[in-house]
Amino acid sequence: MKSTAKKKVLLITGIVLSAFVITVLSYAAYVLFSYDRLADNITLDIEKGAGKTAVTGEKLSLVTYNIGFGAYSQDYSFFMDGGEHSRALSENAVKENTQGALKTVQNADADFILFQEVDIYGTRSYHVNQCKLLSSGLSKYDSVFALNYDSPYFLYPLNEPIGANKSGILTFSSFSISSAVRKSLPVEDSLYKLFDLDRAYTVSVIPTDNGKNLVLYNLHLSAYTSDGKIADEQLKILCADMQKEYQKGSYVIAAGDFNKDLLGDSSEYFGVEPSEEFNWAKPFDTSILPDGIKCYTGTNAPTCRNADSAYRGDGTDYVLSVDGVLASDNVKVISCNTVDTEFLYSDHNPVKAEFILN
């Protein structure tokens, strides 16, 4: 009898273990086979709201803002930064942070507004359509949305799975956009691609009153990679595209989240100690920039915080500037400053640039 009972226990244990292994392998197969890169050169729809032609010789302004899928209030920390959460704290938190970001850019009264990490349907953001929320408050602008990535359902971390998410980049222009396209960027071939997901930038063409075009790029480069080199490759592709348009005589501006330390060493500007632990943002390699294109970012305040904990605001947070603007020489940049929200609605602060199309 004892032998029979023991055999039953072993049989049941074997069945349970086999079922567990099959489940794990099935899930791994689902994630790997669900991974699919979006096509290159996707023509984007333009939601019309503006009717004006961009003017040259007058001061214009631009704001770029990574809104962090509406999760990053000051009390939020993110698991991939060494913090606690993978999802926003609640649906209401997503809506409140998105509305706060919207109010911030409305107060900035910019001609061009570029958002990154805008979810249209995500587990992490409680399926709030942030694109719709933002567009409703900026209806007098032309707008263009492009998916940056469409991820399968991730069961990681196990206590609070980040789930499946559709997230993108959203561009608003107070002047008429004549065409827009989504350009794919390379990502790592290793399993890091499952965490960094797909990457892209958008190109919006805005006619001006002198017959030239303003070509506006919205970008969000890779962050969670093995060594940061893939973001350099992405930047080279972007710069080659910008240089080609610049050589045509176009005004060229790119703005967004570079996930690079645009100041080279932000610790020198903001009085924080360099961190070996939080080293995901490598120094921006200015040698990649072609002749005639310069980089601008805020030095008055950081544009990003590492969300390993809630924001303390006492000088002990790891902060840096990764958001900014690239502009061609025929664009006279008057100023470029961080809009210091003290990270109220995101782990990023907006950056505002003022410029003239010569």
Q: Are strands 213-220 and 251-257 parallel, antiparallel or unpaired?
A: parallel
Amino acid at 280: W
Query: Strand runs (DSSP E) across 151-249, as ranges?
Result: 165-173, 179-184, 200-207, 213-220
Q: What is the pLDDT along the chain (358 residues), one digit of tens a residue?
A: 556 777 776 677 777 777 666 655 555 554 545 455 788 999 999 999 998 999 999 999 999 999 999 999 999 999 989 999 999 999 999 999 999 999 999 999 999 999 999 999 999 999 999 999 999 999 999 999 999 988 888 788 989 999 999 999 999 999 999 999 999 999 877 555 555 568 999 999 999 999 999 999 999 998 766 566 888 899 999 999 999 999 999 999 999 999 999 999 998 899 887 666 777 788 999 999 999 999 999 999 999 999 999 999 998 999 999 999 999 999 999 999 999 999 999 999 999 999 999 9
Q: Are strands 323-328 and 331-338 parallel, antiparallel or unpaired?
A: unpaired
Separation of alpha carbons 245 and 357, rounded Å: 15
Amino acid at 303: T
Q: Domain 39-357, CATH 1.25.40.420 — does that match?
A: no
pLDDT for 30:
47
pLDDT for 323:
98
Burial class of 325 by CB neighbour count within 10 A (0 to 12, 13 to 18, 19+): buried
Query: Strand runs (DSSP E) across 111-164, as ranges?
Result: 112-122, 142-150
Separation of alpha carbons 239 and 58, rounded Å: 26
Strand arrangement, sheet containing 323-328 = 42-43, 179-184, 200-207, 213-220, 251-257, 323-328, 293-297
How far CA 353 is from CA of 29, 38, 112, 206, in Å, comes to: 46, 31, 10, 18
pLDDT for 198:
82
End-to-end CA, the chain: 93
Q: How do residues 218-253 score in pLDDT, each as one tens digit?
A: 999 987 665 668 888 999 999 999 999 999 999 999
CB count within 10 Å of CB 339 equals 19
Cis omega (within 30 of 0) for bond into 157: yes
Q: Where are the domains of the chain?
A: 1-34, 39-357
